[in-house]
Structure formats: structure tokens, C-alpha cells
A and B are shown apart, each in its own frame.
Chain A
Amino acid sequence: MILNIQKFKREIVGLKRLKPQSELHPLSKAAIKQRVMAEIASPSFVAAATPALRAGFLQRITHYLAPIGAGVLFFAGTVMASGGAMPGDKLYPVKQAKEQAEFKLAPGETAKAKVQAKHAEERIKELKHILVSEPQKEELANQIAQSPDTSTPQLGGAINATSAPLQEKKLSKNFQENKKTRVFREQAKTQYKEAMAALKQAKRHSEEKGDVVEAKNLTQNISQLKDKAKLIELEDDDEKKPTSHTQDNDD
């Protein structure tokens, strides 16, 4: 055979022995990962990037129609009903698709920034909902401590209790839920940061154009979003500057 590579056996063996060397610096690898994760969690990411929309027929249809606009009459009812959906609800993907359409349809930089801020506030609301409804570790630890089967009141001791397979299952389930919450928190944080950046940029451009009223509106939007993020500690450390605002105690 003309293209027989058997005569290159030595070279082939040598090539197969070569261990692929990494040219990607660990720091670069980590930085790129962060950017990828932030981009896929971004609300402006196209609906096709949300694999959860594979799930059902309704979600598939919504996935393709969302870019055209949530105002399509056929889905108006579903869309209206999805407004209060929380993560994990059946209509939550519909809510996400609606948000993506809203963002796409928003005309201009300022409108888009305000839509982003609105969605970031919605994420904060959802995160608060999750935090309140999830069983607290301390509460579970107390339950375990009060159980006659445990030898110590400490959560760590409860995990090691020989007669506590059920408690271990509960704890691992709780840990998984906390992990999901952490992931959601990170997504909410990313969305919050993007919304803040968009609002600040829109405000800067309004000031440059001399549109004082719009700039003032955007300042209020920024302040409002910042206050909401404070409630569940979504801010970065550099944003936590002492302000004259008083802390809200409603949560």
C-alpha cells in the first residue's frame, strides 16, 4: 500500500510516548475558566446556551421563539404566569427566556442597562427566596443534637455517629442544596456586577451627552440595586464602602 506507515514505526512509537506538555499557565487557565463561567451565566447569553431548555416540549418551543419576542400572543398566558416562578419551578425556564427576549428588545444602551438591573434584582429576590426556604444547617444540627442516637451535640460529631445513617443522608442532601445555592449565588453575583457596569456606563454616556435627568435616574437605579445587593452580601469587597444609607432590616 502506497501510504503504508509501517516503516515509520520508530517515529510513531516515539510520538505515542510523548506526554502532552501543558503550555497553559495555571493562572491563565484559572482566569480563562472564570471568564467562561461568567459568560455562560450572563443573561445576555443566547437562549441556546441554556441546556435546561432541552427538558420539555414547552421549553423547546419557548427556546426558539424567545428571540422573536415574548409578545407572541400564543404564549402570552404562559409568559404572564411565569413572572413569579422561582428556580426549580417548571415555568422558571420560561421566565428566563422572557428575560432574554426583554433584553434583546430593549432599545438602546440605557434601556438595556435598566432591564439588566431589573433582572439582577429578580435574581436577588430569588436568592433570598432560596436562602429562606432551604433548611438551615444549624437547625438540622440542632435536630441531630437532640436525637438520642448521637453522642455529641456537634454537627461534626453527628456525621460520625455510628447509628446515624439517616442523619448522614439528610446532611449530604443539605450539603448538595447548599452547593446549588452557592452556584446560584455566583450567578446572581455575576448578573449584579454586569448590571452595575451597564448602569454606570449608561450614566457616564448620559452625562457626556448632557442629559441630566437621565443621569440622575440612572444614579437612583445604581443606588437601588446596590442596596438590594447589600441585603444578601452580593457586593464585592471594594464596593462595601461606608455610606450614609442605613441597613434595611426586613430580612
Chain B
Amino acid sequence: MADLELLIKKCQDGDTEAFGEIYEQFSERIFRFIKLKVQNKPQAEDILQDTFVKAWRGLPNFSSQKGDFSAWLYTIAGNTINDYFRKIYRAPESLELDENINIASFHSPLKDAIMASDSFELTSAIKLLPTAYRQVLELRFIQDFSISETAKILDKSNLAIRLSQFRALKQLKEIMRKNYDSEYSKI
């Protein structure tokens, strides 16, 4: 982290090469986050580009004392995604549990025996969750952000995030259980 602080300081002094290194460190993670909401790849790439340009512009105002750099960057990405949706007249998805998920139609492909790992099943199950839930799980447990950091990134309250993560985990567990039952019945 000391390296990152040094890079940030260099960027704030106008070193664009240092910013290039920050891009190398964070671009893949940020892109993954963007792709959760923006399925169109070229659009996601544009949003990634805009995110980093905005980050450069906002760096003079960033201070490590105010918060984590990573969370700050994700927040910019989140806002850029929302701007994109506003432009195409679609509101960002809100926390709703009324998404129609046809859990019964989920079949684990099991194309090869190699693919039948917990990790693969979990990844497949995550893809069935609504975007809002996927985002919360991604930020909370894969990227390891705290509740308050996740709330800031997604522009929601701490309570909304706790509720969301609870429902997301519950739904994930249900999907995996049904998948297990479905595969077990094939034996």
C-alpha cells in the first residue's frame, strides 16, 4: 500500500507515468465491476476509459485520510455507469426482490467432469443473481470492501447494503441447493 500512496503522490505532482501504473493495477478490477451492470463490451470499455480520465481529474482533491483510494475509484466508476444509464434513459437498478429468476431452469452444464468444482458452480450460480446482488457480493466478499465502503460505492445506505447482502447470500444458497438437487437426481 505504501507503493500505491507513492504513486498517488506522484500523480498529484503531475506524473502521468505513475497514473499509467495505477491504471495497470486497477483497470481489470474496475472493468469487471462495470461489466456487472453494462453488458455491452464496447460501452463498458468506454466507461472504463471515462472512469480513469475522471480519476485523473479528481486526483488533486483526493486524500488518503478521507478514504480508501480503491473505494474512491470504484465510486467514480459507479457514478460513470449511472451517467451512462441516464444518457440512455434507463435508471440504475434499485434494490428489488421482484426479479423473476427461473431457478428451476438452471441446469449445471457439467460438460466435462473437470468443470464440476465448487468454484465453477458458485460462479455459475452468481450469474443468475440480479445485478444489484452480484455487485454487493463482488464488492463485499471478492474485493473485500467493508459495508460502509460498499455503501459509498453503490450510493446506498449501510442498512440497504446489509439487507442486500443478506438477500443475495440467501438467494445464492438457494440456487446452489437447487442445482445440487438437480444434479443429484441425475445419478
Contacts and interface: CB of A to CB of B under 8 A. Distances in A.
A22 interface: yes
Interface of B: 11-14, 16-17, 19-20, 23-24, 27-29, 31-32, 35, 45, 48-49, 52-53, 56-60, 118-119, 122-123, 137, 141-144, 162-163, 165-166, 169-170, 172-173, 176
Interface in A5-60: 5, 8, 10-12, 14-18, 20-24, 28-29, 32-33, 35-37, 39-41, 45-46, 48-55
Contacts of B141: 12, 15-16
Given A3-B163, A32-B45, A35-B49, A52 B119 contact: no
Nearest 4 CB-CB pairs, A to B? A52-B14, A15-B141, A8-B169, A24-B31
A33 B27 contact: yes
Contacts of B52: 32, 36
A54 B28 contact: no
Pick the most buried of A48, A49, A51: most chain B CB atoms within 10 A of its CB: A51
Contact of A14 (B24, B57, B119): B119
Contact of B60 (A20, A36, A39, A54): A54
B166 A40 contact: no
A183 interface: yes
Contacts of B123: 18
Instruction: Give chain A's interface secondary structure class.
Output: helix
B68 to A, nearest CB: 17
B60 A51 contact: yes
A29 B173 CA distance: 34
Contact of A33 (B20, B122, B169): B20
B60 A48 contact: yes
B28 A29 contact: yes
B174 to A, nearest CB: 10
Given A33-B27, A35-B49, 8 more contacts: A8-B172, A23-B31, A24-B32, A32-B49, A33-B24, A39-B49, A51-B56, A52-B14
A163 B52 CA distance: 46
Contacts of B162: 3
Contacts of B58: 48
30 contacts: A3-B166, A5-B165, A5-B169, A12-B141, A14-B118, A15-B122, A15-B141, A18-B123, A20-B143, A23-B28, A24-B48, A28-B45, A29-B27, A32-B52, A33-B23, A33-B24, A36-B49, A36-B53, A36-B56, A40-B53, A41-B16, A48-B57, A49-B53, A49-B57, A50-B14, A51-B14, A52-B13, A54-B13, A55-B13, A183-B16
Contacts of A53: 60
A62 to B, nearest CB: 14
Contact of A15 (B11, B17, B53, B137): B137
Contact of A54 (B12, B172, B176): B12
B138 to A, nearest CB: 8
A29 B12 CA distance: 23
B45 A14 contact: no
